Amino acid sequence: MLQVRKSGDRGHANHGWLDSYHSFSFAGYYDPNQMGFRSLRVINEDRIAPLGGFPTHGHQDMEIITYVLSGALEHQDSLGTGSVIRPGEVQQMSAGTGIQHSEYNPSEQESTHLLQIWIVPNKTGITPRYAQQTFPIAAEPGQLHLVVTGDGRDGTIPVQQDMNLYAGRISAGGAIATQLDPARYGWLQVARGELLLNDLPLNAGDGVAIRETTDLNLTAITDAEVLLFDLP
């Protein structure tokens, strides 16, 4: 079964420096029917204005993944990490017992477009950790790249949850076929572009909850970019 969460049905908040769409309940947006999907708790599509950003704030017992689509995001945290995240890189924080961090758009001219993702961990109270890694998502389109896993296999970023996250770009007219274990659940997030999922038309910002469906066929109508979550 494929259940679509349309882009236009998401929660929305515009703070001037931040224009954000929430696939699930977050901050001032609350919908008791949209509290997440399985262990996937948050997908926020954020656009941060030049020199805008989040001042230092804290998280605890959450797996946080940042996926930059355009621009850059400067990160500082209480572990002593200082970095800039750009397209093609995936950033992950295990908040665990507690972590403080800030995120800013360092550009004076270009906005930053990103997806921030929260995963509920399967174990709490772990030691906080940070990871950032580059993947050939743009250089090798037409395939789904495994970027985050529960065990860190094959050079992926590990998280404290039994999940897999794939990211891929598909050129217009191209297609990707993949399979999902029938005992598992999936969530497809369209980061940009238009495509078909098993003949189901999707646009940028749409999400799809996947249950009891094994074969997944993605066909790009325009150049497209997707994230596919394989969840317990």
Please give the pLDDT value at position 136.
Answer: 96
Per-residue pLDDT of the chain (232 residues; tens, 9 = 90+): 999 999 999 999 999 999 999 999 999 999 999 999 999 999 999 999 999 999 999 999 999 999 999 999 999 999 999 999 999 999 999 999 999 999 999 999 999 999 999 999 999 999 999 999 999 999 999 999 999 999 999 999 999 999 999 999 999 999 999 999 999 999 999 999 999 999 999 999 999 999 999 999 999 999 999 999 999 9
Domain holding 189, by residue range, is 2-231
Please give the pLDDT value at position 68.
Answer: 98
Q: Is the pTM of this model over 0.85?
A: yes
- Please state, in angstroms and rounded to a whole number, the distance separating the CA atoms of residues 17 and 167: 27
Please give the pLDDT value at position 227.
Answer: 98
Please give the pLDDT value at position 189.
Answer: 98
Please give the pLDDT value at position 121.
Answer: 98
Please give the pLDDT value at position 105.
Answer: 97
Any idea what the CATH number is for the domain that residue 77 is in? 2.60.120.10
Dihedral sign from CA coordinates of 92, 137, 10, 209: negative
Domains held by the chain: number: 1
- Say if residue 90 is exposed, middle or buried (CB neighbours under 10 Å; 0-12, 13-18, 19+): buried
Please give the pLDDT value at position 31.
Answer: 96
